[in-house]
Amino acid sequence: MPELALCITFGVAGCTTQQTYNSAQSWQRNECHRQVDTIERERCIAGTTMTYDDYRRRRDRPQQATGTGE
């Protein structure tokens, strides 16, 4: 979380997209641990397991599909 706050504060100067993503994932996991209900907590944590490379592939996929046929 401190990395993310610093990146935002300084206009993302010197922070890579991957660092920002990892900081956000870490923050989300910490928030998940605040869940009282075990099932909700586990579901929340399961949503934070995507690696940055997988995230980037998913993010870029729609851009590749929109460039065809127009």
The C-alpha angle 64, 7, 26, rounded to 5 degrees, equals 75
For the stretch 14-33, pLDDT in tens is: 678 899 999 999 999 999 99
For the stretch 43-55, pLDDT in tens is: 999 999 999 999 9
Q: What does the domain layout of the chain look like in residue ranges?
A: 2-51
HEC sequence for 30-62: HHHCCCCCHHHHHHHHHCCCCCHHHHHHHHHHH
Two structure tokens written together for 61? 């996929």
pTM beyond 0.85: no
